[in-house]
Amino acid sequence: MAPYKELKLIDFHSSPPHLQFNKYVLSGYRPVSTSRGCLQSLFYLHNESGNIYTHGIPFVGFLLLLPLSIPWSEVDEWWLCLVHYLACLSPTVGSVFYHIFMNHEGGVHIYDALLSFDMLGVCLVNTLGALPIVHITLLCYPSFRRAAMMAYLLVSCHGIHCAVTARSNVRRLRSFAWQALFRFFLFILRWTGGGTGSPDSLRLYLTMDSLALLGGLVNISRVPERFSPGSFDYWLNSHQIMHMMVVLSIMYLHWGMMEDLAWLRQYQCPVE
């Protein structure tokens, strides 16, 4: 096996056109590489290192630790636990693959496929993460519950199509608007007493969506690097900040669902 060798990093203008999407990050770009070269970049510093590890480390943590806190055997609707677990994992998986292999020698076609995979992960946390919330919010209204879950799946399919075909960060963020509005309607139902669920979970879910929205806005605004181009090439640029907010958002989703599952074990719908 040939010895490991760090590749020489390049600047913004020397990188391929499809990687020139943040003009305020000026240096630290990896040159076009083979699959092996992309993987080797895990072991030296470049301007994607922060993006890789801000989702890679949480992915490993979620993968190993979340199952220990999920009450698998205590909930009759076992699928709620499985869907929630997959939802928490999905955005970090796609993101890690995207950021590791985005400079692959396959060029723009490989890049577009990786970006679609990354966006699919974001779509899945919005879709899978909300289905247990829909179920629990409308627990005592089976007909409405089934209709609402079907409607949310249809809205999600539209959002997935928009997200994977979008050509700008603004359009990608807008792809999730209908899903967010649907969830907000569920939260209003809970707040007004028209829906069911743990009284303590609502604020956690609202924090979850607020963090996700704020992260998306930071990402499209390119703050803070737009105020000092080149100063945030490696650490604390807008995309890394968004990653950290996404991880916090997933944690609030998990905490909210644990409150709901604990409530579900003790609640009985009133008999008419």
List the structure tokens of 57: 């480390």
Give the 3-state secondary structure of residue 29: strand
The residue type found at 242 is M
Low-confidence stretches of the chain (pLDDT < 50) are 1-4
List the structure tokens of 218: 């930071």
Environment class of 265 (CB within 10 Å of its CB; exposed 0-12, middle 13-18, buried 19+): exposed
Do residues 133 and 208 touch, judged by C-beta distance below 8 A?
Answer: no
Give the model's pLDDT for residue 262. 96
Give the model's pLDDT for residue 6. 57
pLDDT digits (tens, 9 = 90+) for 124-145: 999 999 999 999 999 999 999 9
Q: Is 239 labelled a binding residue?
A: yes
Cα 45 versus chain centre, distance: 24
Longest dimension (CA), the chain: 73
For 74, half-sphere exposure in the C-beta direction (CA atoms, 13 angstrom radius) is: 12
Domain ranges of the chain: 48-264
Give the model's pLDDT for residue 2. 42
How far, CA to CA in Å, does 260 sit from each of 95, 121, 139, 199, 257?
28, 24, 11, 9, 5
Give the model's pLDDT for residue 169. 87
Give the model's pLDDT for residue 271. 78
Q: Is 99 labelled a binding residue?
A: yes
The pTM of the full predicted model, rounded to 2 decimals, is 0.94
* CATH class, 48-264 region: mainly alpha
Cα 217 versus chain centre, distance: 14
How far, CA to CA in Å, does 14 sit from each of 4, 19, 36, 39, 81?
24, 10, 21, 21, 47
